[in-house]
Structures are given as C-alpha cells and as structure tokens.
Amino acid sequence: MPSNSLLLWWIRNPVAANLAMLLLMVAGALSYFYSVEKEPFPTVRLPIMDISMRWPGAGPREIEDQIVVRFEEAIKNVEGIKYTVSRALEGRAFVTVTGEEKIDRRKFADDIREKINSVNGLPNDADKVMVTERTNREPMIRIALHGMVDTATLNKVSREIRREVGSLPLISLVQVTGDSAEEVSIEISEEKLSYYQLSFDEVSDAIKKQSINLSAGVIRSETESYTLSVRSRAESQTEFEDLIIRRNGDGAVLRLRDVAKVIDGPIVGRWYSSFDGEPAVLIDVMNSDHMNIPKMSESIRQYIERKQKHLPQGLSLTIWDDWNNAYQSRLSSIFNNATMGLILVFATLLLFLQPKVALWVSIGIATAFSAAFWLMPSFDISLNMISLFAFMMVIGIVVDDAIVIGESIHAANEKGLSGEQAAYLGVKEVCQPVIFGVLTTVIVFVPMSLLPGSTAEFTRSIAFVVILALLFSLFECLCILPNHLKHLTEYSAHKRQSRLKKCQQQFANCLNYSATHLYQPAMRVLLNWRYLVVGIFILAFLASIKLLNDNHILQSFEPKIEADTIRLNISMPENTSFERVQQVHETLNRAQQKLNEHIAQLDLENNQFVEHVYTRIGNTNIRSFIKLVPMEHRAMDIDSATALLTEFIGDIPDAEEIDFKTTLNTRDPRIAFMISGENLDAMTLAAAELKEHIATYDDVFMVRDNLDRGSKEIVLTLKPGADAIGVNIREVSKQVRQAFFGQEVQRLPRAGGDARVKVRYSRSEREALDSIFKLKIRMRDGREIPLMSVVDLEIKPGVNRIIRRDGKKVVWIWAEYAGSNRAEVIDSVRKEFMPDWLKRHPEISTDRSGRNQDQQAFIDQVIYYEGMAFLVAYVLMAVAFGSYSQPLLIMSAIPFAFLGSILGHWGHSIYYGAFSMLGILAASGVVVNDNLVLIDKLNKLSRQGIKPFDAILQAGTSRFRPILLTSLTTFIGLVPMLSGDNEQSKFLVPMVVSLAYGVVMATLVTLFFVPCLYLVGVDIKRKTHAAFDWWSNLGKPINTQSE
C-alpha cells in the first residue's frame, strides 16, 4: 500500500500531479507519431524453418529417397521440433520444420542449418540446398503491371519497377509474381542428330569449350598490374548460333545454327497471368520489420503517378490491393466505436457523479492510454486493429478504479469533508481493494501473452495493451486523480444549482434510493433464502455448460475475418491437357461476368461488387483473385456472392478441387482427419472408405483428400543381353534425360538471376509420345542403337507428389461442413466408424489433423496458464486479507462470467470460439474487482463487531453504487461494438459479447450470489464448530446439579 505521507505528498503538490499527467500525454503523442509501428494485424512470428532443394528432372520417388529422407534423418534429433512436413514433387524437395513456440529461435535455426549442411550423399546434379527461416512476409500492396505486350517486355519492365520500388523509403522487400524466368533452349531433332552423326554430349561439350568467361590471373610488373581474363561467353541467340560444333578435315565447319534451333527468351510453358483480361505481372510490396502502412502506401502511389508517364506503349500500372485501405477502414471503425464508448462512459458518469468527478475520471482514461502508447514500442506492440480493439475493450475496466476512488472521495465530500481531507480519506478508504483489484486483473491477463500458436501475437497485443493501461490507470487514480478531486465542493441542498447539477443529483439520489429501498429489502429476503439462491445460480451455470456441450451454441474455434478478396482455386488432375484447363478458365470468366451482370441488375443504391480480377494459370491449376470494392459500397455480402459464383460456375466433373476462400484467416468449418503409414496403396484404400463414410452425414459436402491422381509413368528396364553389346542402364537413362528434360550446359547471369542454357529435343518432340520409340542410343564408337531394341517399356500410374509428416507418408481428408455441430460429427466418426476401420487396415494409423492439434494445444495452454494465474491471484488475496476462505469467496464468482458469455452468444446467435474464451478471462478480472470492493467493506464492518447477516447487508448496500457504476460503464463502453453492424470489426464481437455479458452477470453475482454464499459459509463454519465442540465434549461427565 502507498504510505500515508506519499498519498498526502501527491494530494498537496498540484504541480507534480499536473506535470506527470502532461508528460504521459505528450510521451504518448510522440510515440504515436514517431515510434509505434502501424500495420493491419500483428505480425505472426513462428519458429518455422523451410528447407528446399531442386533436382531438375527427378521424379517424386527419387526426390523422396535421395533427398527428403536424408533431411528428415539429419534433423530428427534437433531439440525443440514440434513436427515436420515434407513434400516430394517433380524436381523439388520441401521440408518444413515447425518448432515449439517457446524455444530459442536463433539456436533452433542454427541447429537446423548445421544438420542440413552436414548431410552427405545428396545427388551431384542437384542444386544447392536452401535453408531459410520463415518470416511470414505478406503482400501489403500489390501492383499490377498489365497491357497487351509480349512477355519479354513485361519481364523487363517489372524487374525495373522492382528495383525502383525497393529503393523507396520504408520499403525493404519487393517480390515479382507471374513473371517468367529466361532460358536459352538449344533444340535438336532426332533427325538432325542422326544426319550429322552427333550426340547431345558432343554438342554440349562444344558449347562448354567455346562459351566461357574466365579470369586467368594477374601480371604484376614493376610499374603496373594487368588482369588476365578470357571473355568469349555467348550471351545472345546469334552468338550461340555462331558456335562451332565440329570442324572437318577439309576446313568446313558445322555451326550450332546448322543443327539446332536456338531460342533465347522467357520460358514457354503451360502458364500465364492476366489482370482484367490483359497479360500481367504482379509487383508485391511485402511487410517489413518496421511497418508504417499509411506512409508506405502514400510513397507507392506517388511513385506510380510518376512512373505511369514513362512506361512503354500499351503498359499500365494499377494498385489492385492496398492494405492501407483496409487498415484505415478497420481502425476507423474500431476508433469510432471506442470514441462512442468513451462518450457514453463519460455521460454515464456525469449522470451519477459530480461533473468534475466525471471529467477528471475521463481525463484519467486518456492519460492511462497515452502512457500505454508510450511504452508499446518497448514491448514490440504495433498499432493495429487488435491493439486498438484492446484499448476499446479496456475503457470500462480502466475506469473501474477511478470510479471507486472518485466515488469514495465524492461520498466523503457529501459527508461534509472537503479539500485535502476528503481526498485523502476517500483514497485511504478504498486503496487496498483498488490495488489488489488491479493486480489480480493484471495477473488474469498475463497468460494471454504466453499462449501458443498462430493466435499468440493477437493475444499478446491484447494482453500488453490491457496490462499497461491498467498499471498506468492505477498510478493515475492513486496519485493524480485525488489532487484534482480535492477541489470538490460540499453538496448542499440550500445552494443554487445548475440544471446539470440538478439532473446529476436526481440520478445520484435515484441510485441511492435503489440501494436503500430496492436492493436492501430484496437482499434481506434473498439472504433468508440463501440456499435456494445459491442453488439457482449453480444450476444456471451447469445449464450453460450443457447448452455448449449439446451444440445449442454455434461454435467455431477461429473467428471469421472477412477478406476484401475472393480467392478461388481450381485444381485439375495432373494428366489434364492444357486445352481443357483453358476451357475451365473460360468457364470461370463467364461466371464472373454473369455475377457482374446479376449485381448490375439489382435495384440497389450500391450495385458494385468486383473491382479487379487477377488470374494465374499454372499447368493444371487455376488461381483467381477477385478484388472487391470496399465493404460499404458492396451490393451484397461476400458469402452470398460466393454462393452465386459457385452456381454460375456449375459442375466441373473432372476437377479435383474447387475451393473458395473469403476470409483472411483459415477458419475451421472443415471436418479434417489425417492418416499415416508407409504403404501408399493401403492408405489410398483406407482414405476412400473414410471419405465415403464422412459423406453420409447431413450438412457435409465437398469431401476430398490430398492423394495424388498423377499422370502416367513410363518405366524403362534394360532387356536381357543388352549389356552384351555395350549398353548399360546408366547410359540409357542419361541419354533419355538429355533428350526430354535436357542437359544444362551453363548459366548466364541476367537481371539478378540465372538463365539456364539447355540442350535437348525440340518442344514438339518432347511433347509427343512416339518420340520415345524413335530415340537412338549413341555409343562412343559411333554406333546408333534404337532405344526400343535394348529396353522394355511399361506404363504405370505415376506419382506427382509424396507428402510426409514426422517421417511417415500421410493423407489428409477434408470435408466442408455447413451445420453447427461439427465437433459432434468428428466424435461420431472417431467412436462409431474408426475402431472397425482401423482393424480392417492395421498398416495405417490416424491422428488429429494439424489444425485440430493446434486448437487443442491452445485450449490446454489456456487452462494451464489461467489455472496458474488464478492460483497466484488466490495467494495474493489470501496474504492481503489474511484469510484462506475469503479469496475463494471472491473467486467463486469467476465461473459465472462463463454463464454470462454463453447467454450472450445464445442471444446474439454468434459463434463461440477462441476469442470468446479470451473475453471470459477479461470478464473474470472485473468479477474479482467488484468482489474485492464488497469483501473489503464487509471486513471493515465485521471488525466493528457487526453480525454477519447485517454486515453483508450493509456492505452490499454501501458498495451498491460503485459496483453498479463499474459494471455499467464497462458494459456501456462496449455497447457501440455490440450494436454496430460494421463488417470490418465483426470478428471481434465474440470477445466483446463475452466481456459485456460476463460483466452483467458479474454484477448479479457480486450483489446477490456472493452475499448468499458468504452466509452459507458462515452457517457451515458455525455448524462445523458446533460439531467439533460436540465431539470434544463427547464422553465428558454431564453436570446434572442445578445451580
């Protein structure tokens, strides 16, 4: 507790109090303008390492055996690994290592790099392994460079823009998406190889010998130094065509142009990008370590305005996705709600307290918030919609302490005390419960900063903002507020008063009347029926648990954060022709056009929806990003539009997956299972049975898995006796690879990257199946042996990807779910189907999918950390009150915050999830705060010798006003968020509902349940003592002698 002299010092020194307030406000303002980072959402930082390696031309099975398994074995003993996910694809290996949340990230990254760099036996012709730490970079601003120009022009200009944008202030990382890498393709037909008696090796060796740049040393004379170098590397198509492949004895030369076609330019493949129907490349400006999204956006827009004037004919630059728009809109929404909440809180205070008290209490909120702004950069907290929401949420909690102290000083003033005496005695009266109330609330919020998973940065932002605001609020209401309230004037009924004061006095009298003439008589009756009251509250709590368990409450672990873009992904089987993929793309374009026409025909003030469309086609995959107009200008909500778009697209029977994503986060309407094993055929059969069963449930649709439906694979095996004529399988595989994949001769540095120079068949031959039957194996002695004479071909189902988790092959099964009892479906599958299913397939095992594991880990950690927090809070209160039982009485009200939350979710028909749990924790702090005020007064009355019944009745009556005001202001501060329908901040509503209705329930619990429970405890204690006395006297002689 602050000493009496310290309290008096602050009360008697207005200069110190005013300067402290002013300094905190100025520090907060300076921090806002110059120090605090500004970003849409907190940057998620997870200990994830990405390991990748390219092995051009290798199949998934070879990638798995030669690369993936070696990497997994190398890192399996690294400390702190949570799980690994590996993917073996055509020519590429990826291993993602996820670490435990609380590990030393630097050491974890160093250990992974060390183990991977020490792996031996990797393929010699594979590229260098890349080990990178996941930084969770996301595009903040996306710029489309588009126009009816050739690919080479797009590539050249996009790289130029990338360099220029990267040099702008506040921008550190720029990426180009949709551009094509360059290569030099030297294409030779089988006919030319036979005609000129050439082999791929001979052509490749000739190029290597002539196309070369080499530093040959330095000549150092006494006066000068000379660098020796060879500069004869071919750089262009013409220079390559002029290279000599063979020189005959008669002096004639055979040049590369005579035998091959040289193509120098962007790689031609089965992909392209378009923006609003024009060829396009995206320039993505990524988030950085020190974000200021408003200034970044302004800088980009000024650059584009300048750059537009100097672009080649037919090209345009368009900003099609700018997070600053969403940032400003969402922050504006929350800021407006917070401002309205603050105004409502001030108005509420004005009705029940003197205007000066209401004014200084409100100024105290601003002081505490400014101080929290000042220290946010020190705790690496940015200004984002989550941290700003935390400020809005804590308005009512922060004001509680000031209300208790302000009301106490106000009450002292009404008793006839004035000036320093009223301020001092008012603070001293409630100092202990205020301090311990703040400390216990802080303790409740501390676990939010320790929670694991992808929500950790969200909860951390909320926790630190609330904790900083509470601590500075405590300082303000103990040191600064009393100095300002010492000037309160004594209320007198004979003084002439303004209309405002008369109105305020009427409300204050009404509140006092409610306490003495309504609450007190009602409480007297309820205390006599205390067992019934306690029983009713307990039954209501149990009923709320049943409501949740019986799925009467909508449940979704993560809230829906609506996006400004509809992301559509259509995956076709790997053996789908490019013509078919283009047909599906045209179907998608027609569906988008129908959607626009449908919206245009609606008789609405806002008949807009789609702003831009960017589409990327890659082999058999179509990804479309449909950028929407701002929410306030949309003709319909995003879910309705997605349903219409799905209808217009219609059925695509050969599509493996049609997936819409309309949220910023990955929500969990899915039913997900993961099976693992080593036998892929057995896993495929088991997955088919599981999918068939899942599809039988109501509201389940789009059941799918991640199994590979790959293209066919041609397997070559050497015929018996082939080795007798000098043919071996190594030479055969090398020459087949040279013909169809190509032999890389060298790499040319271009535009910050490498252009590979490859020698191979012409594109038409590479894409024709009969080319394999015409291929000839060229021996060193000049013989040409038809491939089909020395090998047998077998066509088998191919594999295009192999996915592994923790060293085992895995298959994920997903299903979309439109109902409200997702957990019930999952439990039914596990309990009713899986036992027999696993017996039929003993070679596989099943586990929760990764997301389900993370969600369960989050819930377990919430229970653990909050359990520890409540234990610490109990110890703190037990020491403060010198009692073992009173902290239990105070904390007995905490579970009823859950009851309030459930009733709120039920009434508002919203989803209960992770954010709802956090709201309940926040409400727990208010519950404890109110009960501390009540129990502190009860103790003071008990020490005066007042009987328990009368003491609890008087304590409840005297603390009725501060308890009601603290709960009322907390609820009122959240009303704008509860009543608003702004889509920008809707995902935060579950937390607001839990806090608001938890506080309402806390008021009822504090004013009615806790007093009744207290007397029940007194009854139990009395009866226990009586029973103990009876037991102690048992066997003693009974004195029958009359006096």
Structure confidence by residue, pLDDT tens digits, 318-369: 998 888 887 887 777 777 777 777 787 788 777 777 777 778 888 888 899 9
Structure tokens at 727: 């043919």
* Candidate ranges 205-214, 441-450, 866-875; pick with highest mean pLDDT: 205-214
Decide if 293 contacts 383 (C-beta within 8 A): no
Per-residue pLDDT band at 30 (split at 50, 70, 90): very high
Decide if 802 contacts 679 (C-beta within 8 A): no
Per-residue pLDDT, 785: 92
> Which of 69, 61, 133 has the alpha carbon at shortest distance from 99?
133
Helix axes 419-445, 850-881, angle to 10 degrees: 150
**CA 28 vs CA 36, 38, 284, 980: distances in Å:** 10, 15, 33, 29
- Among 180-184, 313-317, 872-876, 1034-1038, the range scoring the smallest mean pLDDT is 1034-1038
Q: How many CA atoms lie within 13 A of 335 on its CB side?
A: 8
Structure tokens at 854: 């993370």
CA distance 668 to 513: 51
CA distance 799 to 795: 12
CA distance 765 to 660: 38
**SS3 sequence, 332-379?**
HHHHHHHHHHHHHHHHHHHHHCCHHHHHHHHHHHHHHHHHHHHHHHHH
Q: Which domains does the chain have, with CATH numbers?
A: 1-35+353-489 (1.20.1640.10), 46-135 (3.30.70.1430), 189-259+712-797 (3.30.2090.10), 507-550+883-1029 (1.20.1640.10), 575-609+630-708+808-849 (3.30.70.600)
Decide if 873 contacts 928 (C-beta within 8 A): yes
According to DSSP H, which parts of 135-199 are helical?
151-166, 190-195
Chain segment 67-85, per-residue pLDDT in tens:
999 999 999 889 989 889 9
């500069």: which residue's tokens? 231
Per-residue pLDDT, 494: 47
Predicted confidence (pLDDT) at residue 557 exceeds the cutoff of 80: no
Per-residue pLDDT, 1043: 38
Per-residue pLDDT, 531: 93
Per-residue pLDDT band at 471 (split at 50, 70, 90): very high
Bridge-based pairing of strands 808-817 and 801-805 is antiparallel
Predicted confidence (pLDDT) at residue 493 exceeds the cutoff of 50: no
Decide if 400 contacts 927 (C-beta within 8 A): no
Per-residue pLDDT, 532: 94
- Among 9-13, 605-609, 625-629, the range scoring the smallest mean pLDDT is 605-609
> Which of 686, 725, 691 has the alpha carbon at shortest distance from 705?
691
Using a 10 angstrom Cβ sphere, with 0-12 exposed, 13-18 middle and 19 or more buried, the burial of residue 481 is buried
**Which sign, positive or negative, has the C-alpha torsion 429, 433, 439, 444?**
negative
Per-residue pLDDT, 973: 78
């010092």: which residue's tokens? 9
> Which of 941, 962, 21 has the alpha carbon at shortest distance from 478?
21
Bridge-based pairing of strands 253-255 and 845-848 is unpaired
> Which of 457, 321, 329, 324 has the alpha carbon at shortest distance from 387?
457
> Which of 935, 932, 927 has the alpha carbon at shortest distance from 1001?
927
CA distance 169 to 294: 12
Predicted confidence (pLDDT) at residue 668 exceeds the cutoff of 70: no
